[in-house]
Structure formats: C-alpha cells, structure tokens
Amino acid sequence: MGNNIGGRKKAKIMKINGEVFKLRLPAVTQDVLKHFPGHVLLEPEAVKKYGIRAEPLEPEEELKANKIYFLVELPKLRQEKTPTRSRSAVHMDAKEWIALRRRSISEPPGAGSGSVRVKMRLSKAEIEKLIEESKDEREMAEKIIDLFLLNSSKEIREQEHV
C-alpha cells in the first residue's frame, strides 16, 4: 500500500459500444488496428473539437500513457447507383423537347408509351387563329402542343428564378 513510482504504463482503448481495454506501452496505433481491420483510432480532444471530421491517428504514431483513445469503425463507402430511369438522366432544352414531341406525334397510335392528358386554356381568338393557320387537324394539334410546351418551359424558368 505504498507509493507506486515505477508503475506499468498503459493506454486505454474504448470501443464505440463502451467496452474498454488496456494496452501495455510502448505501443503504436498499428498494434491495435491489426486486430481490428476497418477501424481507426481517434484522440478524444480531436473528436471533441472536430466531431466526425476528426483525423485518425497515423499507423506509426506512438500511444501515450494514461490516455484514452476511441476505436471507431470506418463507414463503408456506398457505390454510386446507376440511374434506374433514363428520363432522370436526360436534360433537354425547350427546342429539343419540341422536336422530340413532333417526332412522337408522327408515330402511329400505340407505338409510343401511351397517351397523356393535358388541360390548357386558350382564348377563342387563339383557337380561331390556330384553325386558320393550320392545313389540317394534325398540324393544328402540333401547334397546340408547341404552344403548351413553350408556356410550360416559361413557367419552369420562372419557378427556377424564384
């Protein structure tokens, strides 16, 4: 029960679940990490100051006596997912979209992915103008779609600027 002058020097390692084990010194970070692949050692001061951005200890860094270190598993990196829908990866301006719509209008019914219902308000004057300028119903339908696409692209641009 006397004074302990030449006591054994140990460092404490704490796992994320709270389990603590002691390590006899001299030892380096790599001595601990070889038993725990995919883990890193962090100093409590670094964790307190930087949080999740704390830098792990270097493999050759010497551990200090009577100090606590955190043993933390590195997060697994996610692999980039490939887009499941091709539409989400395609970006078109209004002209390209109109050209695509014209091409799909010329396809026979049933060749596309189905029909789309759109509500659009046109004044009587606009309708009369479309009828006079169009040769047939098909051309009038194309002009109505073009008008709709131009109006919807303007609305989208206005919403982006808000």
For tokens 């109006």, the residue is 151
Architecture of the domain delimited by 10-73: Roll (3.10)
Question: So where are the chain's domains?
Answer: 10-73, 90-104+117-161
Task: Give the CA-trace dihedral at 147, 149, 154, 156, to 10 degrees.
Answer: 160
* pTM recorded for the entire structure: 0.44
The answer to whether the CB of 16 falls within 8 A of the CB of 71 is yes
Q: How confident is the model at residue 88 (pLDDT cuts 50, 70, 90)?
A: very low
Q: For the segment 17-70, what is each residue's pLDDT rounded down to a tens digit?
A: 889 999 898 899 999 999 998 899 999 888 888 887 888 999 899 999 889 999
List the one residue out of 57, 75, 73, 74 whose CA is nearest residue 11: 57
CA atoms of 13 and 33, how far apart (whole Å)? 11
List the one residue out of 121, 34, 102, 41 whose CA is nearest residue 73: 41
pLDDT recorded at residue 122: 80
